[in-house]
Each structure stands twice: as structure tokens, then as C-alpha cells.
Amino acid sequence: MAPSGHVVISCRTIQGILRVISFSVNGNGTSIIREGDSASLAGRIGRNALVTRPYGVLSAVSAATGALKLIKWAVSATGQITRNGDSGDQAGRVGIIQASALTGISGAPLVTAVQTVSGDLKLISWDDLSATGELQR
């Protein structure tokens, strides 16, 4: 659930492209309306995870190269999705990805738990709330 009140999902399309989609759901759950999506704002991915952040949501994906990439997405009050920066090439190739934030702590860093290609567990903390808008390890 994004701070805007929208249900947001991330998925890999049949073409292998990351798609982030927002939905509005009425109070009793009988009406679900697709409000917006990321269109072609992201490329080919492998695995992906999604976590709620104060600005919207954040995708943690294995990019087409196999490297971990984090992408910030703003979700507007009307459910429109806007890409707001990414982590670039700060991390290496990964297998399994999990993203989480410390709950109940405003401005807490984001942590990704990844399985490296050698099978090791690696925890990486990220600052995704800085004034620059970019993600920093």
C-alpha cells in the first residue's frame, strides 16, 4: 500500500520488462480500478521485490545484466506512477532479492537482503530519502 492509499504491485511482463501498477480499491473491496503504471520507464529485469516508502514505493530488481538495481517510484494522489531515480551500478550481480525498511521509524534506511551469485547472503543498507533523490549505499 503506497502512502497515497493505492495498492501497488510490481511484476515482470511477458517481454521481461518491469511494470509497476497502481490500483484503487473501494472500502469493501468490491471495486478495483487500475489507476496508473510505469509504462516504459524501466527495462528488462529478472527477479523483483517491492517495498512501501514515504514517497511511494521502491523496486529492488535484478537488471538485465543481473546486477541489483533499486528504483524509486512516486505514486500521486490519483495513482499516477513517476520514476524518481535509481541506484545505478553500486551493487553486483544477485540471485534472490528481498527489500525491507525498519517499520515505525520515519526516515529509516532501506535494507536489501540478496543472494549473491556465489550463493552468499549479503545485506546492503541504502539511503533513499536524502535531498538529492538518488539512492546511496
Task: Return the pLDDT at 31.
Answer: 93
Give the CA distances from residue 53 to residues 14, 97, 115, 117, 128, in Å, rounded to whole numbers and listed in that order: 27, 17, 23, 28, 9
Task: Return the pLDDT at 54.
Answer: 87
Report which of residues 128 and 51 the model is more confident about.
51
Task: Return the pLDDT at 50.
Answer: 93
Helix (H) or strand (E) holding 62: strand 56-63
- The pTM is what? 0.87
Res 102 pLDDT > 90: no
d(CA 112, CA 114): 6
**What average pLDDT does the segment 61-85 reach?**
93
Give the CA distances from residue 50 to residues 8, 30, 65, 92, 117, in Å, rounded to whole numbers and listed in that order: 9, 25, 19, 19, 21
Res 85 pLDDT > 80: yes
Nearest Cα neighbor of 68 from 112, 14, 9 is: 112
Counting residues of the chain whose pLDDT is more than 70, the rounded percentage is: 91
Q: How many residues does the chain have?
A: 137
Domain boundaries, given as residue ranges, for the chain: 7-126
pLDDT tens for 22-65 read 999 998 889 999 999 999 899 999 989 999 988 899 999 999 88
69: which strand partners?
A: 61
